Structure 1
Amino acid sequence: MTDRDRTPKRFDTTVPNEARMFDYALGGKDNYSVDREASEKIREAIPTVLVAVEENRRFMRRAVRHLLSVGIRQFLDLGAGMPGRGNVHDLAHAVDPAARVVYVDNDQVIVNHYQALLSSSDVAAALLADIRSPRDILSAPAVTARIDFGRPVAILMTALLHYLSDDEDPGGIADAFVSAVPPGSHLVLSHYHPGGVSEEEHAIAAGFAESMGITMAARTSKEIEGFFGELVLVDPGLVPPTLWRPDRIQKQPTGWQLAGVGRKA
């Protein structure tokens, strides 16, 4: 991320936006021609990148379903991105209409979309905030009115921490959120991992990220596992997203990411 990302992102249809590009990759309609053009340039250069977006989304849905199956009823989705098919609140409320969900993002447009979807809900909300200020998020009325920190909480950080440089202390940020929740809580995390792609693909991806003014931190599997701290990784551990408890036949993993779920003992 760049310094401009320390404040809420301004709506601008003249430059590509990574959240709208993800929306396009997932078949959504909340994107513009500049986002579609940038996405197609990336697809032409490295076709598997946009497939990886879908891999990540499917992992998130499987992880949420798993957590629902073990009794989790509170979800804090950090860096939520554009709503689409199978949002966290959709999955949670299909199981328990009283489940609590708070989405957090630093993009006003994303938050507006969620607020429109949740306008009639008392148990789900969206908050405009920056994850680099965990205390502000954890103490925000939108969060404290819905999340009971005396009961287990699922913290979602999918495709998020690779947008933070080491200087921004992503590990400390993850720990701040995990420290705020009780035993039985879980961390759902996925992260860019260049070990599964060629040096050429990594270089092209880094070039695209730089051209958009965003960080794309390349971290090892050990570094990514470190974000879980003392949490116990749920089987099958830290793996490519498609290999995390697949519920259908999966294609060969693209290799762009690693994903896992950790439980606080």
Structure 2
Amino acid sequence: MPEPDEIELNKPNAARVYDYYLGGNHNFAVDREMGDEAIAMWPELPQIMQANRAFLRRSVHYCVERGIRQFLDLGSGIPTVGNVHEVAQLAAPGSRVVYVDTDPVAVAYSKTLLADNPDADILRADARDPQEVLESDEVAALLDLDQPVAVMMVALLHFVGDDSAPRRVVARYRDALAPGSFLCLSHATGEGRPDVADEHADLYQQRTTTPMTFRSRAEIGEFFEGFELVEPGLVFMPQWRPVSPSDVGDNPERFTALVGVGRKL
């Protein structure tokens, strides 16, 4: 478990708030208070987070079906049902996964969860520092970067402000990957619900250490430079290869994140 002085108990944490949205129990009163405040202004938030998690599972399945057996999950967050290693290893035993997160709670619970799993590990590091991540012992032990890898940036980049040059960060990971690797990405956009996006971004700006940046379709599309977007391209979450047409519903833009999977050329 993390040391008590490593955990900010008086300030909400985005990873713990996300865990609360998903119905997890790895969160504190301050996180639940902010989560309830956000849900009051945007009642569909838990369903949006569940749709994001469902995209992660579908994209992992897609990569496994195309022969990928290595996964790097950046900003992995607090463990919950349907983790990358659970999905990948069930579909293809022996698949290897490295999770990366800075939050001590997320890392501690991940270490406990993965203690008996030789093919998965967690690295405490800042995903905005590709060199630290890619040169880590954890990556060296489990991933062969000369072979294709799926890099997961699911609900990560909207917590990376423009001052951290997110396009350059993505490009550094891309350049380290072998051809045939994949980028699986979801990113918040205000295009579906501009009426609440600004208010939601302000809440994260004021209350957390990880403010949100809502980006346009064009801005999100730029993260796929050097990748070929697979069908159906950059779409709202329920529209990406749904299990059933009924999963899309009549108003998919209410799920205010765009998602896509790209293959490195």
Same fold (TM over 0.5): yes
**Greater Cα shift, 248-257 or 110-119:** 248-257
The one of 45, 70, 73 aligned to 1:74: 70
Shift of 1:15: 2.4
Once the two structures are superposed, residues 141-172 of structure 1 have per-residue CA deviations (whole angstroms, 9 ceiling, x without a partner) of: 01111000111100000111111111211001
Runs of 4+ in 1 over 3 A off after TM superposition: none
Shift of 1:44: 1.0
1:45 corresponds to: 41
Residues in 1 aligned to 2:231 and 2:6: alpha-carbon distance in whole angstroms: 40
Three-state SS of the structure 2 residue aligned to 1:109 is helix
The one of 7, 18, 23 aligned to 1:11: 7
Contact map agreement 2:114 2:120 (CA 8 A) in 1: yes
Residues in 2 aligned to 1:197 and 1:10: alpha-carbon distance in whole angstroms: 36
**Greater Cα shift, 201-210 or 172-181:** 201-210
2:130 corresponds to: 134
Once the two structures are superposed, residues 218-262 of structure 1 have per-residue CA deviations (whole angstroms, 9 ceiling, x without a partner) of: 211111010010210010000001110011322432241100000
2:85 corresponds to: 89
1:202 corresponds to: 197
1:4 corresponds to: none
Contact map agreement 2:51 2:255 (CA 8 A) in 1: no
Three-state SS of the structure 2 residue aligned to 1:68 is helix
Shift of 1:41: 1.2
Contact map agreement 2:111 2:122 (CA 8 A) in 1: yes
Three-state SS of the structure 1 residue aligned to 2:72 is strand
Residues in 2 aligned to 1:16 and 1:165: alpha-carbon distance in whole angstroms: 18
Residues in 1 aligned to 2:12 and 2:211: alpha-carbon distance in whole angstroms: 15
Note the aligned Cα RMSD (angstroms): 1.4
Contact map agreement 2:201 2:214 (CA 8 A) in 1: no
**Greater Cα shift, 28-37 or 56-65:** 28-37
Q: TM-score, normalised by structure 2?
A: 0.93
1:35 corresponds to: 31
Residues in 2 aligned to 1:230 and 1:50: alpha-carbon distance in whole angstroms: 33
Once the two structures are superposed, residues 179-206 of structure 1 have per-residue CA deviations (whole angstroms, 9 ceiling, x without a partner) of: 11111100000111101113x3022112
Contact map agreement 1:193 1:255 (CA 8 A) in 2: no
Q: TM-score, normalised by structure 1?
A: 0.93
Give structure 1 stretches of 5+ with no counterpart.
1-8
The one of 166, 177, 182 aligned to 2:178: 182
Once the two structures are superposed, residues 56-88 of structure 1 have per-residue CA deviations (whole angstroms, 9 ceiling, x without a partner) of: 111011000111111100000000011111100
Residues in 2 aligned to 1:178 and 1:75: alpha-carbon distance in whole angstroms: 14
2:213 corresponds to: 217
Contact map agreement 2:95 2:119 (CA 8 A) in 1: yes
2:121 corresponds to: 125
Structure 1 vs Structure 2: percent identity of aligned residues? Answer: 40
2:139 corresponds to: 143
Q: How many residues align?
A: 256
1:259 corresponds to: 259
Contact map agreement 2:184 2:262 (CA 8 A) in 1: yes
The one of 101, 104, 109 aligned to 2:105: 109
